[in-house]
């Protein structure tokens, strides 16, 4: 087993106080902290009042979450001033949220504005008013945008497979700053870590984004765009792409950032990382949706990472 580092792996500039606080919190609660770590931690706390404030807030958040049976209960808590303060801290911190229940908190506006949504580990088929069907993966939400001229929806989070019924009106999906227009087709849109993947199973779609302009995807082609995505058209295997409909997660040389985004939709809680360089590591494997912790175990056993289970709802990965 690789030796633990003597100090946290702090990503980005040291001015990012929240990331530093998270790294110190993970290190000091990992069970591996040394006397030298404790001395450096004390110096870091004393160096700036913001350090002590952010670290104290983390401690309070973890205590609250550990007392909950289900992290999604956070959305049902009374709106006391202290709870609102915590919500403000979460919504603006730590890149992708860093606590179990983050999706519940930050997904609340989507929940209120969505036409259809699914929860953790839940999948569902929705039949739209025009006869089109949408298969929703776990933690997915969309809002319909139908009128006399256009059929469409805004995919707010998650993953969906669309089977579009014939209609004179075009069918459009908005997602992550892009617009996908169906040309009589069956296609999927997959949101993950600020990126989107569009994959066409039948016929074709056009995709328009600020970065790519307008391109057309044919049957058997997909493209990813957005944060950290490889913006190039590539072929794909439909059986792999839609394996989630059959209870499987199949990753074929996919970046860890995408794997974590998918697995987090099936786990009560969340898996996060302390170093951005981990997110581009490649992962391959076939996993059972009913056992999302199997993916976590595979990551821990095959990649150069160490894990800290801060609470039963939060697992943090850091370089080994």
- CA dist list (Å): 165 to 14, 21, 129, 205: 52, 51, 10, 14
List, in order of start, the domains of the chain with CATH numbers.
17-110 (no CATH), 114-236 (2.60.120.1440), 245-319 (3.55.50.30)
The answer for residues whose C-beta is within 8 angstroms of residue 42's C-beta and 6 or more apart is none
Q: Token digits for 208?
A: 């328009």
Q: Provide mean pLDDT across the span 169-191.
A: 94
Nearest alpha carbon to residue 299 among 263, 246, 274: 263
Distance of CA 308 to the CA centre of its chain: 19
Across 29-38, 93-102, 169-178, 204-213, least confident range: 93-102
The one-character DSSP state at 127 is: E
Query: pLDDT at position 284, please?
Result: 86
Angle CA 168–174–177, to nearest 5: 140
CA separation, residue 91 to residues 70, 106, 239, 269 (Å): 19, 6, 36, 16
**How confident is the model at residue 37, as a pLDDT?**
83
pTM for this structure? 0.66
Q: What is the pLDDT of residue 163?
A: 97
* 215 vs 118: CA distance, rounded Å: 31
pLDDT of residue 30: 57
The residue count of the chain comes to: 320
Segment among 63-67, 147-151, 261-265 with least mean pLDDT: 63-67
Q: State which of 63-77, 171-185, 221-235 shows the largest mean pLDDT.
A: 171-185
How many whole angstroms separate alpha carbon 293 and alpha carbon 284? Answer: 15
Higher pLDDT, 249 or 159: 159
Q: With CA atoms as reference, report the closest residue to 140 among 180, 96, 196, 224.
A: 196
> Which is more confidently placed, 84 or 120?
120
Q: Tell me, what's the pLDDT at 105?
A: 41
Q: What local confidence, expressed as pLDDT, does residue 57 receive?
A: 67
Task: Say which residue the tokens 């580092």 belong to.
Answer: 5
pLDDT band at 88 (very low <50, low <70, confident <90, very high): very low
Q: What's the first-to-final CA gap in the chain, in angstroms?
A: 9
Q: What is the pLDDT of residue 29?
A: 65
Q: Give Cα separations from 147 to 165, 169, 171 (angstroms).
A: 16, 9, 11
Report d(CA 50, CA 164) in Å as an integer: 52
pLDDT band at 309 (very low <50, low <70, confident <90, very high): confident
Question: Could you tell me the two tokens for 70?
Answer: 């289900």
Query: What pLDDT does 109 receive?
Result: 54
| Element spanning 268, H or E | none
Exposed, middle or buried, 157 (CB in 10 Å: 0-12/13-18/19+)? buried
Q: What share of the chain is helix, strand, coil (3-state, %, to 5)?
A: 30, 35, 35
Integer Cα distance of 137 and 120 in angstroms: 9
72 against 195, higher pLDDT: 195
Residue 301 has what pLDDT? Answer: 85
Q: Is the pLDDT of residue 129 over 50?
A: yes
Give pLDDT, residue 228: 67
Is pLDDT of 79 > 60?
no
Ramachandran bin of 317, using left for φ above 0, alpha for ψ from -120 to 50, beta for the remaining angles: beta
pLDDT tens digits for range 12-57 = 333 467 667 777 776 776 566 788 888 888 888 889 888 888 777 6
Question: What pLDDT is stored for residue 175 in this prediction?
Answer: 95
- Confidence (pLDDT) at 24: 78
Question: Tens digits of per-residue pLDDT, 196-240?
Answer: 999 999 999 999 998 889 999 999 999 999 876 778 999 988 888
Least confident of 87-101, 245-259, 260-274: 87-101
Quote the pLDDT of residue 25. 73
Helical H segments across 67-160, by residue range: 81-91, 102-106, 108-113
């Amino acid at each position: 087993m690789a030796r633990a580092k003597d100090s946290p792996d702090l990503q980005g500039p040291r001015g990012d106080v929240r990331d530093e606080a998270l790294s110190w919190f993970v290190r000091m609660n990992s069970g591996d902290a040394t006397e030298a770590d404790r001395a450096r931690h004390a110096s870091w706390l004393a160096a700036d009042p913001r350090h002590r404030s952010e670290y104290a807030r983390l401690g309070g958040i973890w205590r609250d979450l550990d007392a909950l049976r289900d992290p999604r209960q956070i959305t049902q808590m009374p709106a006391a001033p202290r709870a609102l303060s915590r919500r403000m801290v979460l919504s603006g911190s730590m890149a992708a949220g860093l606590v179990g229940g983050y999706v519940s908190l930050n997904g609340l506006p989507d929940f209120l504005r969505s036409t259809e949504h699914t929860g953790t580990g839940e999948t569902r088929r929705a039949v739209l008013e025009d006869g089109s069907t949408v298969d929703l993966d776990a933690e997915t939400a969309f809002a319909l945008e139908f009128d006399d001229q256009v059929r469409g929806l805004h995919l707010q989070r998650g993953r969906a497979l669309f089977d579009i019924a014939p209609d004179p009106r075009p069918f459009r999906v908005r997602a992550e700053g892009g617009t996908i227009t169906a040309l009589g087709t069956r296609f999927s849109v997959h949101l993950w870590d600020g990126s989107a993947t569009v994959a066409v199973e039948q016929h074709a779609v056009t995709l328009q984004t600020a970065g790519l302009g307008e391109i057309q995807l044919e049957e058997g082609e997909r493209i990813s765009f957005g944060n950290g995505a490889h913006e190039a058209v590539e072929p794909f295997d439909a059986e792999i792409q839609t394996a989630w409909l059959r209870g499987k997660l199949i990753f074929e040389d996919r970046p860890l950032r995408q794997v974590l985004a998918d697995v987090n939709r099936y786990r009560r809680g969340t898996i996060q990382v302390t170093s951005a360089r981990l997110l581009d590591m490649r992962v391959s494997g076939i996993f059972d949706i009913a056992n999302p912790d199997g993916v976590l175990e595979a990551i821990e056993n095959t990649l150069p990472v160490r894990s800290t289970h801060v609470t039963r709802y939060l697992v943090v990965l850091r370089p080994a």
